[in-house]
């Protein structure tokens, strides 16, 4: 009996050490991320638990899957394959920091060039704030509205992006100028002024305009939302993940290891 007890005590000691090290590492991982990075969903399979998609920033803006998107090979690691599916992200104080400046970015593998949303902030009562939207023909639209429901910017790129290949798409607004980028190249710009309306009913959606409309048809990977307008050099670094990737890799490993600990308890 004393031997069995000793083994249990030894196992518990190891568990305590592992948990302590994970907590220390997680502090370094999350603190290493830029504070302006308010949402990061890698869609790697170890960050998806049931219907929950983990936000890898310190802000914890986790999303909920609506529908049944498949986890497939992505641009980096895994991605979600959207057809009639979406990821719902509730409003939060950290996401509200994007009111005066924002960057939306993602790697996409579109199967079609019909009108659909990659990222939006909208509800089904037509209370719309943001469109990060594919238009028919593969052009990109960027629309933002203020608290009076007036347009801050609403413009569409003349250039289209290709289907059936991975493309990095980003849209930025710094309070006066909005830009659209394909694979790090600026393809459209427009001027505007104002702050985005804050409405608790308007959630962020990935893969649709809201819960039941403008479904994206294809794969989406490496979604990030920033509370600042990334400059052209930062956009290029965002493409290869060097702005945050190292710390997020560590955070992902922490998530995976903690899951294994819970499985083996």
* Residue pair 142/171 in contact by the 8 Å Cβ criterion: yes
Q: Which residues share a beta bridge with 10?
A: none
| Exposed e or buried b per residue across 231-264, where buried means at least 16 C-beta atoms within 10 angstroms of its C-beta | eeebbbbbbebebbbebbbbbbebbebeeeeeee
| pLDDT value for 212 | 78
Domains in the chain: boundaries: 35-240
CATH 3.30.70.3000, domain 35-240, yes or no: no
**pLDDT score, position 134:** 95
pTM (two decimals): 0.82
Chunk the chain into consecutive blocks of 10 residues (it has 265) and report each block's average pLDDT, rounded to whole numbers: 54 52 44 87 97 96 97 97 96 92 98 93 78 94 90 96 97 97 98 86 89 90 97 94 59 42 40
Residue range 118-164, pLDDT digits in tens: 999 987 666 789 999 999 999 999 999 998 889 999 999 999 999 99
């Amino acid at each position: 009996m004393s031997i069995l007890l000793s083994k249990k005590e030894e196992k518990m000691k190891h568990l305590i050490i592992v948990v302590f090290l994970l907590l220390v590492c997680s502090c370094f991982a999350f603190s290493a991320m830029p504070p302006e990075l308010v949402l990061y969903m890698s869609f790697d399979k170890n960050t998806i638990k049931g219907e929950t998609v983990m936000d890898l920033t310190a802000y914890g803006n986790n999303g909920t899957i609506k529908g049944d998107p498949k986890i497939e090979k992505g641009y980096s690691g895994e991605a979600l394959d959207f057809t009639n599916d979406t990821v719902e992200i509730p409003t939060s104080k950290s996401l509200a920091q994007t009111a005066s400046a924002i960057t939306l970015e993602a790697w996409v593998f579109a199967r079609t060039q019909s009108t659909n949303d990659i990222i939006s902030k909208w509800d089904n009562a037509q209370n719309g704030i943001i469109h990060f939207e594919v238009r028919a023909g593969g052009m990109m639209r960027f629309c933002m509205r203020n608290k009076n429901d007036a347009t801050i910017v609403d413009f569409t790129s003349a250039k289209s992006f290709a289907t059936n290949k991975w493309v990095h798409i980003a849209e930025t607004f710094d309070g006066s100028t909005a830009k659209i980028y394909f694979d790090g190249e600026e393809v459209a710009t427009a001027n505007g002024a104002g702050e985005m309306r804050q409405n608790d009913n308007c959630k962020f959606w990935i893969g649709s305009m809201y819960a039941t409309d403008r479904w994206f048809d294809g794969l989406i990977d490496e979604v990030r939302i920033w509370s600042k307008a990334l400059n052209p050099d930062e956009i290029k670094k965002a493409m290869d993940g060097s702005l945050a990737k190292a710390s997020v890799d560590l955070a992902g490993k922490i998530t995976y290891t903690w899951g294994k600990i819970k499985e083996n308890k």
